[in-house]
Structure 1
Amino acid sequence: MTAQLTLLDSLSIQFPPANLALAEPDGLLAIGGDLSTPRLITAYQNGIFPWFNQGEPIMWWCPSSRAVLNIGDINISRSLRKLARQAKYTITVNTDFCGVINNCIKQREQLEGTWITDDMKAAYIALHNQGYAHSIEVYNQDNTLVGGLYGIMVNHVFCGESMFHFESNCSKLAFWALHNHLRNHNINLIDCQIENPHLSSLGATCITREEFLAKLTVKDDQPIHPSMWNKAQLTDIYD
């Protein structure tokens, strides 16, 4: 098949095959459509995610190289293990999704600008309210939200979207907590989307688009326990 850029039909939530994505810019597959929950879930189930800036049309991507973390392959430094043993932080799941996404926006605006537009924020909050998107929170001893991450769960894969930290290493604590929470519920893969030094330091590696899409279609006979994403404090998660 020849790579091509597809203009999405507003009346259909279907996407073209991911292997039709352009080589330059790498992974751009389609533009248009909307950020409705059905379209977003269809996208993630097919290895596709939205990524665009304010004022641009919605752009949908499936890059040729995919950053992933296989559960069990996480790299934890001695300093991070020491920080976890100090028990300075409380780790929770799904207690403040809006706070996490707002802080991801805030940190990126301070550093380099954010791709989490108002429409993206509203769309992922809607995903959370419908049970698809989830967050990990890190609170300090003053009960202030100082780190966290959020993402979407599809096909027994956690698709990470963004993370933040306002105290050193708190995004890494959140990622480690997520890894162990997924491991404890027999989830085997975190989709990190695009490689960066921060994720690589934690053990993320790159696989081809074809390898990633194949992992998305693997059937898992172990059902996800319905309580996995209940609002809760996570305890005994660092080992």
Structure 2
Amino acid sequence: MRKDEPPLVQETSAKRIVVGPLDVQLHSSAVHRILKMAACTLDHEYQPYCKPQPDVVEERVSVVPEQVSALEEFIPTRQTSVTLMRATVTVPAAEYNLLHLLLPVLLGHKVSTAQTSVPQFQLLRPLPALQLQFERVTFEHSVPMYEQEVTRTASSLNQPSDTLLHHCYTHCYLKVFELQAGLTVIDSEGVFQPLIPIIPSFSTALYGKQLHLPAYCPHRTSRRPRTFETPTNPDQRNPGRVLLKALSGSAVCP
């Protein structure tokens, strides 16, 4: 660190959000709204609000050993963590098999009035549903506060340390604990029947990282490596999986 530079302040930022327990139900109307939002997003008529600017690569500057040692000792980071506790996600079958009539409207196609007018139907009960349950889901995001300074310093060295290389990336972790899936039935009173397991309880993790300012490190070919870990889950054919095929086909065209 040069004399004219201010002293290095050891700062960090950590944001943690914990939500739970959760009970989310995605009915057919919610699926239709999601399809409409996706159609509007993909069929917009406006220019993007911002365009990615090309990275401006500055000339390599010589770094003093004291500056490198200070960065290796402590690099300010910004960490964000979101945790969902004891969540249940239920996706019931479509109560009205009208997607072949609603899909053109959702996608913005021109249809006649006769095609959009549909009769009134009573609620379908019992109603099969797919249910996902997990004990905990954690998403973690870590990024250095001054990624440009760290990346420039690492690119100026012939053999940067593992610590500097680690902070040249944005790191993302997704951890899922005790996830299980099964089929259930909603009776006429709206009560869920006992779960028929499809996938037994298991835990999994997904890790990925993205290189900051790849123009500074053209020799590094692995810019977005990813790692996926999951235990062995043998394919088990049971009545639940057979019913799942009928459930998935309830919301598509007959």
| Relative contact order higher in (CA < 8 Å, ≥ 6 apart) | 1
Q: Which has the larger radius of gyration?
A: 2
Higher share of residues assigned helix: 1
Q: TM-score w.r.t. structure 2 length?
A: 0.17
Higher share of residues assigned strand: 2
Q: TM-score w.r.t. structure 1 length?
A: 0.18
